[in-house]
């Protein structure tokens, strides 16, 4: 099916959920509200004409100061049998950054959702194991948010533990005969 | 009579495998819960090589984000570059000239051969067949020398450009590569005679790490890891880029979805890559290597900076602000790199830097399937499973 036809089909099935259909360079994005995302995904997976059996990617985008709601979770879906691709852009508000997990539909969503949580702080309801994946578990903040600084909050000297490490290394270098 | 019936107390052993382990191909840590030799639970910990490539990409211009892609899958940098460049070209709506496309295809396939060869050598080494490793590096060396001849770098190539390639290939390069394609099938047979019917190899690979076609798709596997299960999905056929629609090649498929079938798929892929390179050299057209409108994206030649004011200004703007003609929009562009489907999702807000640069890394997805492959199997098969999904942790952690 043509991507625009797919978008229309989603709009017919869920008229209240689709807010916009946009197209750029022959790729179609369907903008959705987040409430019925799981139902829509299940519909896309199970409908024999659509048959989206392969979840390509999930990622988050932070539109700080550009759009409200602030976040978007972007889903790329592909059907290996039908050979068509669609992009879902789900609006996620800043005060409740929670989306329903789709790990029950596609197993591959597991780590993508964990990464999205790790990098942007969007949490996924019903995820079996929502931990940080790339960063250490005690890391503070979500690096891909636009208000997260590129080069650290403080100077090198103020980095917690830095002075202690320097002192310790000086102490260890001292050698008494 | 098992131990509990005998009244012997048993408990599960927790084993931390890695992050420094020769068979993990980088820094991957697996927490294994063992019941004797059987793996009960496997929890992968990744992220040791996380360098924030996506965040860096958002703070660099379209040009200077290119070298970041070298460092994703560092043994197939050229293919990553081609993937990134294709995505940016799609965003800007420009098309590389025919000769550049052919050169890129040649480079992608050379990368595939060198990456698969390194995979074959290390995978066999992990399982206990050391000889293949020694032979396979002979061909890899040849290909790396050819990369060096073209772009001066063996590993971090950064050779393709937005709208073409950096410089033309020499006749010497083409002659040497053609000789390589003539010899390579014979060399491939050598590897196959070493392990194809080796009883130890068969015992270690047949029926190990089995994943069915439907399940493999559900997990989002791509590349040879998916095709070993018999699913016909190859980005080169599904979304042809560069000149993959002009050359003939087959997509090898497995049936059983085990380690052995994935090995066979990759070996056949090597033959197909060789075939593609040969066709590309034979068809290689003459002409420019940069698109006419590529001047907006590519730095002017260094010698012009000293002579022409326009070049100097152009250079300055490109380095500080990036290309100024970016449209507002978003594209997802996938390419078939040796590991699987490498996708770039670029959101542009019209400035010279990407607003969001998402890298869909195949190794990340493949690492997530490790628990599914390892749990219920033997400890020794964990090594075979890590090898067969062909992950590079630089790409997994980004």
Residue numbers in B near A46 (CB within 8 A): none
Q: Is A72 in the B-facing interface, judged by CB distances under 8 Å?
A: no
pLDDT for position B82:
92
B379 part of a folded domain: yes
Tens digit of each residue's pLDDT (9 = 90 or more) over B8-43: 777 788 888 877 777 667 788 888 888 888 888 889
Tens digit of each residue's pLDDT (9 = 90 or more) over A40-91: 888 888 888 888 889 999 988 998 888 888 898 999 999 988 888 899 999 8
A101 part of a folded domain: yes
Closest Cα in chain A, distance from residue B330 (Å):
7
Residue of B nearest to A89 (CA): B330
Residue numbers in A near B343 (CB within 8 A): 56-57, 76
List the CATH number of the domain containing A41.
Answer: 3.30.460.80
**Which band of pLDDT confidence, cut at 50, 70 and 90, is reported for residue B308?**
confident
- Cross-chain residue pair B219–A29, CB shorter than 8 Å: no
Structurally, how many domains does chain A consist of?
A: 1
- Picking from B229, B269, B221, B224, the residue whose alpha carbon sits closest to that of residue B249 is B269
Average the pLDDT over each of A25-39, B235-249, B286-300, B367-381 and give the range with the smallest value.
B286-300
Mutate to test the interface with A, among B54, B56, B216, B218 (most CBs of A within 10 A): B218
A169 part of a folded domain: no
Q: Is A135 in the B-facing interface, judged by CB distances under 8 Å?
A: yes
- Cross-chain residue pair A27–B331, CB shorter than 8 Å: yes
Say how far apart CA A134 and CA A111 lie, in whole Å: 10
Q: From the list B220, B331, B360, which residue is nearest A106 (CB)?
A: B220
Kindly report the backbone phi and psi dihedral angles of residue B235, in degrees, each rounded to the nearest multiple of 5, phi listed first.
Answer: -60, -30
C-alpha dist (Å) from residue B129 to B113, B124, B125, B197? 20, 5, 5, 12
Kindly report the backbone phi and psi dihedral angles of residue B87, in degrees, each rounded to the nearest multiple of 5, phi listed first.
Answer: -65, -45
Structurally, how many domains does chain B consist of?
A: 1
Percentage of chain B exceeding pLDDT 70: 98
pLDDT for position B200:
84
pLDDT for position B325:
76
- Helix, coil or strand: residue B132: helix
- Domain coverage including residue B66: 53-397
B24 part of a folded domain: no
pLDDT for position B205:
87
pLDDT for position A18:
83
Say how far apart CA B165 and CA B107 lie, in whole Å: 11
| pLDDT over 60 at B197, yes or no | yes
Q: What is the mean pLDDT of chain B?
A: 87
B30 part of a folded domain: no
Q: Is A45 in the B-facing interface, judged by CB distances under 8 Å?
A: no
Q: Is A144 in the B-facing interface, judged by CB distances under 8 Å?
A: yes
* Burial annotation B185-202 (CB, 10 A radius, 16+ → b, else e): eebbeebeebbeebeebe
B41 part of a folded domain: no
Q: From the list B46, B331, B398, which residue is nearest A25 (CB)?
A: B331
pLDDT for position A159:
59
Residue numbers in B near A55 (CB within 8 A): 220
Between positions 73 and 92 of A, the ones with CB within 8 A of B are 74, 76, 80, 83, 85, 87
pLDDT for position A172:
85
Residue numbers in A near B217 (CB within 8 A): 53-54, 80
pLDDT for position A153:
58
Residue of A nearest to B363 (CA): A111
A172 part of a folded domain: no
pLDDT for position B106:
92
How many pairs of residues across A and B have Cβ atoms under 8 Å apart? 96
Higher-confidence position of A152 and B340: B340
Q: What is the 3-state secondary structure (H, E, C) of B220-281?
A: CCCHHHHHCCCCCCCHHHHCCCCCCCCCCCCCCCCCCCCHHHHHHHHHHHHHHHHHHHHHHH
Query: For residues B167 and B150, is the Cβ–Cβ distance under 8 A?
Result: yes
Query: For residues B69 and B50, is the Cβ–Cβ distance under 8 A?
Result: no
- Domain coverage including residue A131: 3-146
**Which band of pLDDT confidence, cut at 50, 70 and 90, is reported for residue A154?**
low
- Cross-chain residue pair A111–B365, CB shorter than 8 Å: yes
B169 part of a folded domain: yes
- Cross-chain residue pair A57–B360, CB shorter than 8 Å: yes
Q: What is the pTM of this model?
A: 0.87
pLDDT for position B102:
92
| pLDDT over 80 at B394, yes or no | yes
Query: For residues A27 and A36, is the Cβ–Cβ distance under 8 A?
Result: no
**Which band of pLDDT confidence, cut at 50, 70 and 90, is reported for residue B84?**
very high
B20 part of a folded domain: no
Query: For residues B226 and B216, is the Cβ–Cβ distance under 8 A?
Result: yes
| pLDDT over 60 at A121, yes or no | yes
B37 part of a folded domain: no
ipTM over 0.90: no
- Provide residues of B within 8 Å CB-CB of chain A: 46-47, 50, 52, 54-55, 58-59, 90-91, 93, 214-215, 217-221, 231-233, 238, 327, 329-332, 334, 341, 343, 345, 347, 349, 355-356, 358, 360, 364-365, 367-368, 372, 397-398
List the CATH number of the domain containing B130.
Answer: 1.10.645.10
Residue numbers in B near A62 (CB within 8 A): 356
Tens digit of each residue's pLDDT (9 = 90 or more) over B143-156: 999 999 988 888 88
A156 part of a folded domain: no
Look up residue A144 and give its DSSP letter: T
pLDDT for position B301:
79
Residue numbers in B near A74 (CB within 8 A): 345, 358
A20 part of a folded domain: yes
Say how far apart CA B143 and CA B215 lie, in whole Å: 36
How many other CB atoms are found less than 10 A from the CB of residue A118? 24
Query: For residues B141 and B121, is the Cβ–Cβ distance under 8 A?
Result: no
């Amino acid at each position: 099916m043509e991507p625009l036809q797919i978008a229309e089909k989603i709009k017919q099935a869920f008229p209240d959920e689709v807010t916009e259909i946009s197209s750029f360079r022959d790729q179609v994005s369907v903008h959705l509200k987040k409430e019925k995302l799981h139902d829509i995904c299940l519909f896309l997976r199970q409908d024999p004409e659509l048959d989206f059996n392969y979840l390509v990617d999930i990622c988050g985008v932070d539109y700080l100061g550009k759009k409200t709601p602030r976040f978007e979770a972007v889903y790329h879906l592909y059907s290996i049998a039908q050979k068509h691709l669609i992009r879902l852009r789900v609006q996620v508000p800043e005060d409740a950054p929670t989306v329903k997990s789709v790990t029950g539909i596609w197993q591959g969503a597991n780590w993508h959702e964990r990464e999205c949580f790790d990098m942007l702080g969007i949490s996924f309801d019903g995820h079996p194991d929502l931990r940080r994946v790339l960063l250490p578990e005690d890391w503070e903040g979500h690096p891909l948010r636009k208000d997260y600084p590129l080069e650290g909050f403080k100077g090198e000297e103020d980095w917690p533990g830095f002075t202690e490490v320097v002192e310790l290394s000086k102490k260890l270098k001292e050698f008494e005969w | 009579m098992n131990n509990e019936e005998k009244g012997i107390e048993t408990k599960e052993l927790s084993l931390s495998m890695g992050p420094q382990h020769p068979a993990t191909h980088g820094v991957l840590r697996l927490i294994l819960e063992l019941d004797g030799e059987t793996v009960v639970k496997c929890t992968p910990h990744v992220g040791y090589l996380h360098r924030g490539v996506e965040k860096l990409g958002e703070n660099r211009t379209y040009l200077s984000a290119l070298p970041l892609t070298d460092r994703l899958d560092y043994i197939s940098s050229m293919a990553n570059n081609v993937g990134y460049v294709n995505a940016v070209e799609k965003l800007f709506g420009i098309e590389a000239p025919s000769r550049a496309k052919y050169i890129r295809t040649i480079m992608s396939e050379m990368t595939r051969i060198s990456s698969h060869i390194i995979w074959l050598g290390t995978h066999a080494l992990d399982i206990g067949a050391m000889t293949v490793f020694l032979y396979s590096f002979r061909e890899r060396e040849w290909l790396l020398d050819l990369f060096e001849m073209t772009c001066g770098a063996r590993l971090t190539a950064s050779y393709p450009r937005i709208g073409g390639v950096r410089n033309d290939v020499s006749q010497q390069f083409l002659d040497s590569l053609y000789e390589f394609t003539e010899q390579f099938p014979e060399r491939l047979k050598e590897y196959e005679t070493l392990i194809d019917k080796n009883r130890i190899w068969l015992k270690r690979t047949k029926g190990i790490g089995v994943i069915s076609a439907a399940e493999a798709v559900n997990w989002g596997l791509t590349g040879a890891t998916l095709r070993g299960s018999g699913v016909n999905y190859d980005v080169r056929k599904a979304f042809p880029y560069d000149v993959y629609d002009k050359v003939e090649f087959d997509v090898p498929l497995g049936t059983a979805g085990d380690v052995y079938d994935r090995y066979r798929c990759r070996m056949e892929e090597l033959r197909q890559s060789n075939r593609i390179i040969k066709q590309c050299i034979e068809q290689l057209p003459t002409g420019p290597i940069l698109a006419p409108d590529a001047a907006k994206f590519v730095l002017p030649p260094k010698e012009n900076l000293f002579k022409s004011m326009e070049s100097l200004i152009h250079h300055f703007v490109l380095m500080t602000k990036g290309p100024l003609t970016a449209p507002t929009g978003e594209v997802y562009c996938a390419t078939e790199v040796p590991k699987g489907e490498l996708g770039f999702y670029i959101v542009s807000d019209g400035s010279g830097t990407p607003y969001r640069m998402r890298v869909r890394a195949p190794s990340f997805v493949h690492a997530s399937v490790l628990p599914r492959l390892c749990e219920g199997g033997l400890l020794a098969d964990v090594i075979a499973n890590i090898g067969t999904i062909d992950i590079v942790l630089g790409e997994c952690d980004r």
